[in-house]
Amino acid sequence: MADWFALERDIRAMLKQPEWDDGSIGPVLVRLAWHSSGTYSKKDGTGGSDGATMRHAPESTDGANAGLEKARAMLEPLKKKYPAVSRGDLWTLAGVVAVEAMGGPRSPWYPGRTDKEKPKAAEVPPNGRLPDASQGAPHIRDVFYRMGFNDRDIVALSGAHSLGRCHTDRSGYSGPWTNTPTRFSNQYFKLLIKEKWTKKKWDGPEQYEDPSGELMMLPSDLALIWDPKFKVVVEEYAEDKDTFFKDFSSAFGKLLELGVRRSSAKL
């Protein structure tokens, strides 16, 4: 049996890294947990975090995963220290622990993923399953409905963009969504509603900025206020942090469970 408490303690202890972005690797670990899970398709049950297939082509070289090789490498010492823990479990647990350590809610999480060392081609999801930030509500719905989420789940999950930032050398976009990118909060929803977002004038891809020019939104973020059904939920979460935290906790927990096949009971 792995010592889960010790592993969680070790994850928490490695989050603070002064030389990394805003001083914490928490946001990039949340992105790793999500991208390893978000390839799931309920149509055929392929994709998801079971197998830790992001180590293998073509998932490893998917442009959407640019930069995540660094996050995976940062967790490798813990894989060595806890060899019985699969990478699929390690990557997803790290996301859960990071959200909680940055002030967010705890999501339900269960171990039991099995890594695939030499997956067959059909066992590694193809490129193109993760969302494209240049697109709007129909695309976001296509991608998240394919995983089995509804509109409310989509908005709840989106609150995770209170964390972290975009990097020109990874996605091509630039900047953080909030002034507190290492603090999990409902600030993303407040900013979506309150700020005036205008197209950034630059050579990079289309993105939006607040009047200060310091904060950003992707076209896919603004889709949440351009689409009336999404917007109602954005307004609700901007007002009611507790409901957002509760809904995020269960939607993120559900995301990390997608496609996980266990030979025995959950715990």
Closest residue to ligand HIF, based on beta-carbon distance: 164
Rounded CA separation 162/189 (Å): 8
- Give whichever of 51 and 104 is closer to ligand HIF, judged by the CB atom: 104
- Give whichever of 93 and 163 is closer to ligand HIF, judged by the CB atom: 163
Give the interface with ligand HIF as residue ranges (CB under 6 A): 21, 27-28, 30-31, 34, 67, 131, 133, 140, 157-158, 160-161, 163-167, 170-171, 173, 218, 220
Rounded CA separation 255/36 (Å): 10
CB of 220 to ligand HIF, least distance (A): 4
Q: Which residues are catalytic?
A: 35, 177
Rounded CA separation 37/87 (Å): 12
Per-residue DSSP letters for 120-184? -GGGSPPTT-SPPTT--HHHHHHHHHHHT--HHHHHHHHGGGGS-EE-TTTTS--EESSS-TTS-
CB of 26 to ligand HIF, least distance (A): 8
- Give whichever of 119 and 126 is closer to ligand HIF, judged by the CB atom: 126
DSSP H helical segments within 16-135, as ranges?
26-37, 68-81, 87-101
CB of 28 to ligand HIF, least distance (A): 4
